[in-house]
Amino acid sequence: MFNSLKEKFHMKLRFACVIVGFLSLVFSLAAQTAGSGAASAQVPPLIQFSNVATDEGGNTLSGAVSITFSFYTSQQGGEPLWTETQNNVPLDPTGHYSVQLGVTKVNGVPTTLFTTGAARWLGVRIAEQLEQPRVLLLSVPYALKAGDAATIGGLPASAFVLAGSQNGAAVVDLDAGQSAPPPAGAITGTGTVNYLPLWDSTSDIVSSVLFQSGTGSTAKVGIGTTTPYATLDVKGGSTIRGTLSLPATAAATATAGKDSQPLNLVASAFSSTTSASVNQTFQWKAEPAANDTASPSGTLNLLYGLGTTAPSETGLQLSSTGLFTFATKQTFPGTGDGSVKSVALAAPASDFTVSESPVTGTGTLGFAWNVPPTNADTADAIVKRDASGNFIAGTITATGLTATSASISTGMSIPSRAEFPLNVTSSNVRATSILGQATATTGDAWGVEGLTSSSASDAYGVYGTAQASTGTPIGVYGSAPYSPSGIGVFGQNGPESAVGEAVSNAGISSGVWGDSGTSNQYGVIGTATYIGGYFVSEGWSAWLQNTSSTGIPFIAGYGSTIGALSKYCEIDTSGNILCTGTKNAAVPVDGGQRVVALSAIEAPQNWFEDAGEAEMVKGAAVVQLDSTYTQTVNTDTKYQVFLTPYGDCRGLYVTNRTANSFEVHELGGGTASLSFGYRIMALRKQYENVRFADHTRDFGGNNGMLVRAPHPARATNRQSHMPSKNLSPPSPFIPTTAVR
């Protein structure tokens, strides 16, 4: 009963404070009206309001609090017409406070709130508590409209009096003990000593990130630090979108040139001798050269200083033409000091023609072979010249094949199905029937090249079969180094595709690469009775990418009409999954004896959901949205909230849906306290306007994406095409950004 009487006392006290505050406003307006002289005083657009700050249990608060004031059209429910939050409102020991509504706004309280004469209710929320019962505003605030009536087009009547016809304006004194309210547009805010001020609005000042110590010539400015070491000290990264200039220390004279301002790079190394850290300062500096000459110039020099010692020249410098001057004792890879003293050839002069030999110091060494290099094992020439001086092939002898000398320029004739049988009994020796090896400094080099053509049967450029009693038989084996890059086996159908060329230029290493530049053909085909393709990887087993914005990187199923696609699914280039069947989660039941499918809920729009449980106290509750959830959805648009009360009440309703929270109240002004469940549906960000997205074209036959390609049957008379460039880019192709 005591608490009930206490609560009634506080309620009466609040109403009394409200009435006193409004009467103060009336007296203020009356004083201004009575004090009219040559110019009428403008009615301040502020409302005096006093009350007692308590917590939700009715206990008075102390210190300073943040209070939000809102005007409504009704006692309960509805959106606020006007809202203002005042921070750091001081409270006296009994919890009383007095504020001026509108003081944080440039134009104060809008007079348009009271022009219709309809009732207005004031809601007060202290800190993060629930809003207190609303207070009906009396007629006093409508004096604001009366103040507007005393103006002409918003200007006082004195503004229309002719110059020289005015007397001194009357001075209006405020009541004793009252503080003068700040005029509309007054500058507010707080600052911190030694921090440069910052305008965070048109009428408010706060502290910036710039800190200054000292004044005059000793002043130092710090960004991110309160102990600046130099005139400007920045703690953190810096980005300069323009030229960073280090000008000369002064203008040069005929007596001496002037260096540039230096650029210091300082490292710190620990000394075991002094048991302290020692600075290692490297300094770049532009220095004058050939001063007071017809061709003055400059150099870029590297200097070094240890500890507190001033940096001195190291001897390394770069001239204005880009030539380096190295420091004394500079060495290069290998032995010696890097100078070329002499180059000479020891082979017999009859084997080659040499020009400019020997070379001493500088010069050009050129030679042309008369007799090419020989095989070191047999001393037989690998390549010979005929009587006309043309290079010809040597004699190759093997079982089933005898190739006579023939001009390389016209090709080498080899009998049909030549065989090179090898019998090896040792398990540590590799048997190679044919070894193809080629080296080229420019252009392509083929170790083995197979060119075939047949109009009556199959044609194979390279055909390999293998049998093995132990180990793994491999019909065709291709190997290439990873670094800088390489391809073990390259298979091409028709001309090279534009996508293949782009991947090749990007750099790639691959065991097998299949490419096709022909429409409706395939780069790689895998067919099998059981598994057409098998991929095993410690990373990604398969990477699927389509460079067309309308393409489909992945398709499961086959067909060209919706009726034939009962088991069809695709992933498009935007990462969307589109399936004609269902999307399910496989969940074990009955102790793992069975697995059942749970279907995903589908909707015409991209809804993301969240659910939870909250507690309502005295008929009201505020539910904060999950901060991670709000990053995935657009809560600036209207989202949906569904409520389930877990107890007896008149019913629940939702109000004040904001981007971060919503309020729940009991119907009819009820004051029940109970828990309730809620479910939220909000639209996914960047997909707010997508509804029933049309994918008809995906299933549109020849006009859509799913065009049935011809069966990859073995073809005849296909043009044999070999790559026209070196497919060994400098680094592996690892996509980091999907091509759109």
Best mean pLDDT range from 72-76, 511-515, 676-680: 676-680
Q: Which of 585, 552, 582, 546 is nearest to 567 (CA)?
A: 582
Peptide bond into 484 cis (omega under 30): yes
Task: Copy the structure tokens of residue 171.
Answer: 């001075």
Q: What percentage of the chain carries pLDDT values higher than 90?
A: 26
* DSSP structural state of residue 17: H
Task: Copy the structure tokens of residue 317.
Answer: 């410098």
Report how far residue 205's alpha carbon sits from residue 186's, in angstroms, rounded to the nearest whole number.
11
Report how far residue 233's alpha carbon sits from residue 169's, in angstroms, rounded to the nearest whole number.
53
Assess whether pLDDT exceeds 60 at residue 417: no
Domain boundaries along the sequence of the chain: 2-155, 195-234, 263-290+297-325, 347-405, 607-683
Residues linked to residue 278 through DSSP beta bridges, in sequence order: 269
Peptide bond into 348 cis (omega under 30): no
Length of the chain: 740
pLDDT at residue 412 in the model:
39
Q: Mean pLDDT, to the nearest integer, of 259-263? A: 94
The verdict on pTM exceeding 0.85 is: no
Q: Which of 11, 15, 204, 22 is nearest to 100 (CA)?
A: 22
Helices marked H in 73-227? 143-149
Assess whether pLDDT exceeds 70 at residue 248: yes
pLDDT at residue 39 in the model:
37
- For residues 558 and 465, the model is more confident at 465
pLDDT band, very low/low/confident/very high, at 356 (cuts 50, 70, 90): low
Report how far residue 598's alpha carbon sits from residue 588's, in angstroms, rounded to the nearest whole number.
11
CATH class of 607-683: mainly beta
Report pLDDT digits (tens) over 390-404: 555 444 443 333 434
Helices marked H in 674-714? none
Burial environment of residue 71 by CB neighbours within 10 A (0 to 12, 13 to 18, 19 or more): buried
- For residues 444 and 716, the model is more confident at 444
State the CB neighbour count (10 A cutoff) for residue 126: 21
Helices marked H in 345-401? none
Report how far residue 369's alpha carbon sits from residue 497's, in angstroms, rounded to the nearest whole number.
41
Assess whether pLDDT exceeds 80 at residue 240: yes
- For residues 398 and 570, the model is more confident at 570
Report how far residue 106's alpha carbon sits from residue 113's, in angstroms, rounded to the nearest whole number.
16
pLDDT at residue 699 in the model:
62
Assess whether pLDDT exceeds 90 at residue 295: yes
- For residues 323 and 709, the model is more confident at 323
In degrees and rounded to multiples of 5, residue 577 shows phi and psi of -105, 125
Assess whether pLDDT exceeds 90 at residue 623: yes
Assess whether pLDDT exceeds 70 at residue 476: yes
Q: Mean pLDDT, to the nearest integer, of 298-314? A: 94
pLDDT band, very low/low/confident/very high, at 31 (cuts 50, 70, 90): very low
Rg (CA), the chain: 45
Report pLDDT digits (tens) over 640-677: 999 999 999 999 999 999 999 999 999 999 999 999 99
Q: Mean pLDDT, to the nearest integer, of 691-704? A: 65
- For residues 469 and 706, the model is more confident at 469
pLDDT band, very low/low/confident/very high, at 471 (cuts 50, 70, 90): confident
Q: Mean pLDDT, to the nearest integer, of 701-729? A: 37
Report pLDDT digits (tens) over 132-170: 889 888 765 555 555 556 566 556 555 555 544 444 433
Q: Mean pLDDT, to the nearest integer, of 416-429? A: 55
Determine which of 11-15, 195-199, 651-655 has the lowest per-residue pLDDT on average: 11-15
- Residue 703 has, within 13 A of its CA and on its CB side, a CA count of 4
Assess whether pLDDT exceeds 80 at residue 119: yes
Assess whether pLDDT exceeds 50 at residue 36: no
Report how far residue 22's alpha carbon sits from residue 47's, in angstroms, rounded to the nearest whole number.
7
Q: Mean pLDDT, to the nearest integer, of 697-717? A: 44
